[in-house]
Amino acid sequence: MPVPVAGCADSTPGDVPVGKRGVPTGSDGDRPLRRDAERNRTRILAAAGELFADQGLEVGVDEIARRAGVGMGTLYRRFPNKDALVDAILQTVVEDSRSVAEQALATRPAADALRWFVIQTVDVGVPGERSVKHVFLSNRLWTGRMHELMYEQIVPLMQRMFDNARAAGAIRPDVAFTDVLVLVRALRGVIDVTDPVAPGTWHRHLQLIFDGLHPRATAEPLVPGPLDFEGYRSATSRPALP
Amino acid sequence: MPVPVAGCADSTPGDVPVGKRGVPTGSDGDRPLRRDAERNRTRILAAAGELFADQGLEVGVDEIARRAGVGMGTLYRRFPNKDALVDAILQTVVEDSRSVAEQALATRPAADALRWFVIQTVDVGVPGERSVKHVFLSNRLWTGRMHELMYEQIVPLMQRMFDNARAAGAIRPDVAFTDVLVLVRALRGVIDVTDPVAPGTWHRHLQLIFDGLHPRATAEPLVPGPLDFEGYRSATSRPALP
Amino acid sequence: MPVPVAGCADSTPGDVPVGKRGVPTGSDGDRPLRRDAERNRTRILAAAGELFADQGLEVGVDEIARRAGVGMGTLYRRFPNKDALVDAILQTVVEDSRSVAEQALATRPAADALRWFVIQTVDVGVPGERSVKHVFLSNRLWTGRMHELMYEQIVPLMQRMFDNARAAGAIRPDVAFTDVLVLVRALRGVIDVTDPVAPGTWHRHLQLIFDGLHPRATAEPLVPGPLDFEGYRSATSRPALP
Amino acid sequence: MPVPVAGCADSTPGDVPVGKRGVPTGSDGDRPLRRDAERNRTRILAAAGELFADQGLEVGVDEIARRAGVGMGTLYRRFPNKDALVDAILQTVVEDSRSVAEQALATRPAADALRWFVIQTVDVGVPGERSVKHVFLSNRLWTGRMHELMYEQIVPLMQRMFDNARAAGAIRPDVAFTDVLVLVRALRGVIDVTDPVAPGTWHRHLQLIFDGLHPRATAEPLVPGPLDFEGYRSATSRPALP
DNA sequence: CATGAATGAGAATTCATTCAT
DNA sequence: TATGAATGAATTCTCATTCAT
């Protein structure tokens, strides 16, 4: 899946730590679930991830249960309600994203970390599970809740990448951090359309966007001024959709 | 609402012709509706536009009818089902957009037409009716169907704007028309978050995107290659959402 | 149905005013319902009353709808949820009871009013509708909510009947008003068992209970003392059953 | 808890034999259960008794299992279904009641035995187990099934107490045995309301009821006549609640 | 044998669409 | 013709009972 990315040294998504999956952790830290229970939990998450991503959040719970090969009751034993299921999906994804961000900060050159992070976050996937990538690929799941989670857990790490990139001269002076956040968010729209027909093509548009952020692209003054941080926060934490 | 846009000569949204509203055209072209019937149709469209944009496509039909001040039967006499209503809303918007595009081609300088068109399309509004702008501002309505309509009616005009801009030296050589389409689509995500908290700020990000398309921003070769036209078409005409 | 009651002059239940039924009042005072709507509302109340009384509050709403000959949606258009339906049933009954109480105070001899009131309240019925009597005959509906309504609307009138009876020398001095309330409540258990197999027999036990309250029945001092009013109130307004 | 009862000589509930608990009798009489199995059975009964009495028959089976500290499978190994569990609870209670009845016949004065029996039956409790008293105090468990059991096992003993009382001149001539049964049943309603707010107050109302049965309370003829025995039997053995 | 996870038939409620007034 | 009441299938969630571990 990872298309070769110009300017990005070889990325090896395989060794990106993907959450703690495999370790039989339940959801919190209660105690390990029984083997079959854990397997069902995983199945449900996978089924829900795919169906949500494919058909939107309004897929019926029974359809999810059917696809996961479990009964309704099982689903509801694992997740108290539909919302909890959605949250679990998003949480999974966000966790994966965070470990990618940490790796980006630790191992990538400053000028390149942000773009590498975005690419890896989207392209990473657990072998045999479509759900993670699927969630990232579906605009339908980028609801208010998703942004809340991203804001809390990912944005601070992105800020550090941004600061490093600017210090390295890779960001034009009139561009603010919130501009990057906003444009990366916009990227979702790109991926959502292009990926089904030409997987990986969105890397090209990501590059175009970053080209616009580079000092050499500077043209007339940007009008109006950027959002401040609080503005972005309030923009992305509006009440979740019904 | 129209924030002053650097590099865009004064725009006067007031005199942009907004579809054929006012002319008592029915829905298809059958024969003109009776006066009150036409008024009801208009009211329903306005109500639906606002409610869809505010609360998403899952608003109940009865709420639309109530807001429009008509009975359910009347609504269903005008539109055979909810989908038809959604389509009519989108059609309205697309019609407005088309007349903006024609004006852009006729009156704007080649290097500037595309950006002006985008701004006008989004910012245009019929005095006293929130619905048009609202629809454009709501990510919830940018479904596959919307893109289909855009593709059929607007994209050819945008192609001409793009060709003119390239001829005028405003587009870097490695950028294809489909890149513009894709990035403009991405803009939707930008507008959707930023507009509620800082209206007009999206003009800034539009400019950043166009800065990336300018020859001076050219950097390493873009990888992978662009979508071809058919690719974009099939990308945007996937089956409509449930 | 009204069994001849010793010591109760002829009672003519026919002219007991039974709420405002017949007048096309909705539930509140909004505006009169359409003819068919009102008919459906009545049908639903009747069906619900009978089914609740027969089978308890856990009868399914769909069964109620089926018995009423309406669709589920109709039921839910009239009553926002099942609880509202239950409340409406109880309210109906309580209203009828109140008008009986008023009539008792106005027309019956002091020594006799309480007993007459109890008998009428239970035996009254709207011709052609089983629901009112049924509700009174079913222990299953005497939930906390029912007692709350009774407390608010009926108990004050009963207090006046009690005071009159005591002044008339029909109540032994060591008996308090709350004793009457408690014993009348107990009567529910009597009616509930006996009425299905021997309708009206409960009149006999009501008389036995009242005989125990008469001065001539006074024996050893009653131990312990009576509940005070607040005690009774808190006893009967405990949280409604789930 | 036992409030001093006027006219009842000191009662010593402690030495009332309470069923055969302790003797490791299984459920039917098959063969004695293994030690731990018996312990589980007891635990389940205790948990179920408390929960049923506190929260009604609709408590979930899993909650009972949890409270008893056993798994669902264990519960269902002991009791084939929920109904069987309910029956076992009631059976326990009825057994206790029977031994009280036998003691009443053996040791109490004829005029007093019935009332003493009622008080003891309700107030009796196994030290360390809330369930017995709790069951008696909860109207929720006085279903048709309960009365069936009472009818079969307790009523004959009460009949003898009644006959003795009448022979002793403590019962007015126009009162039948079924009247006592019916009124004692009514007492349940009294206890159910009053006991939570004023424990023991129901003794007062029991006395009022018995005062009404005494020859000195005789007033006008009781109308209508009493239930005969078969009437009472059929009244109390209607189909069990769902 | 004990455990507690899995099951799936209902339960209440919503909503696009039809139809009587 | 306009109205809004009626419809009923679909949806989310519960819980008595079974069965794999």
Could you give the CA distance from residue B61 to residue B81 in angstroms, rounded to a whole number? 9
Cβ–Cβ below 8 Å for B189 and A194: no
Residue C228 CB neighbours (<10 A): 12
Min Cα–Cα distance to chain D from C40, Å: 28
Chain E: nucleotides under 7 Å from a protein CB?
1-21
In this predicted structure, what is the pLDDT of residue B114? 96
| Residue D15 pLDDT level (bands cut at 50, 70, 90) | very low
Q: How far is CA C7 from the centre of its chain?
A: 22
Q: Is B145 helix (H, G, I), strand (E, B) or coil?
A: helix
DSSP H or E stretch at residue C89: helix C82-107
Give D44 CA → F10 C1' in Å.
40
Distance of C1' in E3 from CA in C193, Å: 43
Nucleotide nearest to C59 (CA to C1'): E11
Determine if strand F comes within 7 Å of the CB of C35: no
Per-position DSSP letters for chain D, written without gaps between them: -----TT-----GGGS--TTTTS---SSSSSPPPHHHHHHHHHHHHHHHHHHHHH-TTS-HHHHHHHHT--HHHHHHHSSSHHHHHHHHHHHHHHHHHHHHHHHHHHS-TTTHHHHHHHHHHH---TT--HHHHHHH-GGG--HHHHHHHHHHTHHHHHHHHHHHHHTT-S-TT--HHHHHHHHHHHHHHHHHHHHHSTTTHHHHHHHHHHHHSGGG--SPPSSPPP-HHHHHHHHTSPPP-
The residue type found at B192 is D
Measured between CB atoms, does B8 come within 8 Å of chain A? no
Kindly report which listed range (A226-240, B207-221, D78-92, D216-230) carries the lowest average pLDDT score. A226-240
Q: Which residue of C has its CA nearest to D174?
A: C208
Instruction: Say which range, A236-240, C212-216, D215-219, has the weakest mean pLDDT.
Output: A236-240
Question: What is the C-alpha to C-alpha distance for residues B161 and B170, in angstroms, rounded to an integer?
Answer: 11
Cis ω before B224 (30° cut-off from 0): yes
Residue D75 or D135, more confident: D75
Contact across the interface for C227 and D194, Cβ inside 8 Å: yes
Q: Identify the CATH homologous superfamily for domain B16-236.
A: Tetracycline Repressor, domain 2 (1.10.357.10)
Helix (H, G, I), strand (E, B), or coil: what is residue A41? helix
- The answer to whether B193 faces chain A, any CB pair under 8 Å, is yes
Percent of chain D with pLDDT over 70: 74
Contact by Cβ (8 Å): C55, C47: no
**Chain D, nearest residue to C3 by Cα:** D224
Contacts for A23 with CB less than 8 Å, ≥ 6 apart: none
Q: Name the band, by pLDDT with cuts 50, 70 and 90, for residue B157.
A: very high
State yes or no: pLDDT of D93 exceeds 90: no
Chain center to CA of B15: 18
pLDDT at res. A149? 82
For the cut 60, the answer to whether the pLDDT of residue D198 exceeds it is yes
Q: Give the nucleotide with minimal C1' distance to the Cα of A36.
A: E5
What is the average pLDDT value for chain D, to the nearest integer?
A: 79
| Three-state secondary-structure class, residue A208 | helix
Q: In terms of pLDDT, which residue wins out, B51 or B103?
A: B103
Q: Which of the two residues, D33 and B154, has the higher pLDDT score?
A: B154
Its sign, for the CA torsion A49, A51, A55, A57, is negative
Higher pLDDT: C55 or D80? It is D80
Section C141-148 average pLDDT: 72
* pLDDT for position B145: 73
Weakest mean pLDDT among A191-195, B103-107, B227-231: A191-195
pLDDT at site A33: 65
Please tell me which residue lies nearest to nucleotide E17, judged from CA to C1'. Answer: B81
Mean pLDDT of B141-148: 71
Interface contact A240, partner B, CB < 8 A: no
| Interatomic distance A78 CA / F18 C1' (Å) | 19
For range D148-177, the mean pLDDT: 93
CB contact under 8 A, C236 and D193: yes
Cβ–Cβ < 8 Å for D162, D113 = no
Residue B4's closest CA among A217, A183, A173, A225? Answer: A225
CB proximity B169 to A under 8 Å: no
User: Could you check: is the Cβ of residue D9 within 7 Å of any atom of nucleic acid strand F?
Assistant: no
Give percent above pLDDT 90 in chain B: 43
Mutation target to probe the D interface, by most D beta carbons within 10 A, among C3, C55, C115, C197 is C197
Q: Is residue A43 helix, strand or coil?
A: helix
* pLDDT of B19 above 80: no
Residue A25 to chain B, least CA–CA distance (Å): 35
Q: What is the mean pLDDT of residues C159-181?
A: 96
Cα angle D90, D96, D97 (rounded to 5 degrees) comes to 85
Measured between alpha carbons, how far is A91 from A87 in angstroms, rounded to an integer? 6
- At CB < 8 A and 24+ separation, what contacts does B238-241 make? B238/A196, B238/B144, B239/B144, B240/B83, B240/B143, B240/B144, B240/B145, B241/A56, B241/B143, B241/B144, B241/B145
- b or e along D149-188 (b: 16 or more beta carbons within 10 Å of the residue's beta carbon)? bbbeebbebbeebbebbbeeebbbebbbbbbbbbbbbbbb
Task: Find the nucleotide nearest B71 (Cα to C1′).
Answer: F3
Whole-prediction pTM value?
0.74
Nearest of B235, B195, B173, B196 to residue A190 by alpha carbon: B235
* Shortest alpha-carbon distance between residue A89 and chain B (Å): 21
Predicted pLDDT at C33: 66
pLDDT tier at C134, thresholds 50, 70, 90? low
Least trusted range by pLDDT, from A118-127, C212-221, D150-159, D185-194:
A118-127
* D227 interfacial to chain C (CB closer than 8 Å): yes
CA distances to A1, B239, C127, C177 from C97, rounded to whole Å, are 76, 62, 16, 19
> Residue C87's pLDDT band (boundaries 50, 70, 90)?
confident
Residues of B in contact with A189 (CB under 8 A): 185-189
- Is the pLDDT at C37 greater than 70? The verdict is yes
Q: How far is B186 from chain A (nearest CA, A)?
A: 5
pLDDT digits (tens, 9 = 90+) for D97-120: 899 999 999 999 999 999 999 988
- Is the pLDDT higher at C57 or at B137? C57
Q: How far is the CA of D47 from the C1' of E1 (A)?
A: 21
A55 close to A64: Cβ distance less than 8 angstroms? no
Measured over the CA atoms of residue A96, residue A101, residue A103 and residue A109, the dihedral's sign is positive
Q: Which long-range contacts (CB under 8 A, 24 or more apart) does A58-64 make?
A: A58/B58, A58/B242, A61/A85
Helices marked H in chain A: 35-55, 61-68, 72-78, 82-107, 113-123, 131-137, 144-153, 155-167, 177-197, 202-213, 229-236
Quick one: pLDDT at residue A174? 97
Low-confidence ranges of chain A (pLDDT < 70): 1-33, 124-144, 236-242
CA distances from D144 to D92, D141, D185 (A): 16, 9, 12
Question: Is the Cα dihedral B130, B133, B139, B145 positive or negative?
Answer: positive
Judged by a CB distance cut-off of 8 A, whether residue D20 touches chain C is no
pLDDT (0 to 100) of residue A32: 65
C1' nearest to CA of C60: which nucleotide? Answer: E11
More confident residue, B7 or B30: B30
Residue C194 is predicted with a pLDDT of 85
Q: Which CATH superfamily hosts domain A13-236? A: Tetracycline Repressor, domain 2 (1.10.357.10)
Best interface-test mutation with C: which of D115, D197, D216 has the largest number of C CBs within 10 A? D197
Q: Which residue reads 């830290």 in tokens?
A: A29
Q: Looking at the predicted structure, is the pLDDT value of residue C114 above 70?
A: yes
Q: Does the CB of B17 sit below 7 A from strand F?
A: no
pLDDT of residue B242: 31
Task: Answer whether A52's CB lies under 8 Å from A86's CB.
Answer: yes
pLDDT in tens, B167-211: 999 999 999 999 999 998 888 778 877 887 888 899 999 999 999
> Residue D209: what pLDDT?
97
Question: Cα–Cα distance between C45 and C129 in angstroms, integer?
Answer: 10
Is any atom of nucleic acid chain F found less than 7 Å from the CB of residue A81?
A: yes
Distance (Å, whole) CA B28 – CA C162: 77
* Residues (174-203, chain C) with CB within 7 Å of strand F atoms: none
**Looking at the predicted structure, is the pLDDT value of residue C123 above 80?**
no
- pLDDT 10s digits, D20-41: 443 444 444 455 666 788 889 9
Distance CA D197, CA B75 (A): 58
pLDDT of D122:
80
Stretch B77-88: mean pLDDT: 90
Q: How far is residue B47 from each of residues A8, B22, D98, measured CA to CA in Å?
A: 50, 17, 73
Which nucleotide lies at the shortest CA–C1' distance from D71? E3
Alpha-carbon distances of D136 from B116, D1, D93, rounded to whole Å: 82, 14, 8
What is d(CA A170, CA C4) in angstroms, rounded to the nearest whole number? 101
User: d(Cα D238, Cα A70) in Å, to the nearest integer?
Assistant: 41
Of B16-20, C122-126, D226-230, the one with minimum mean pLDDT is B16-20
Closest partner residue to C211 among D217, D223, D231, by Cβ? D217
Give A230 to chain B, closest Cα distance, Å: 10
D233: contact with C, CB 8 A cutoff: no
Angle between helices A155-167 and A113-123 (to 10 degrees): 150
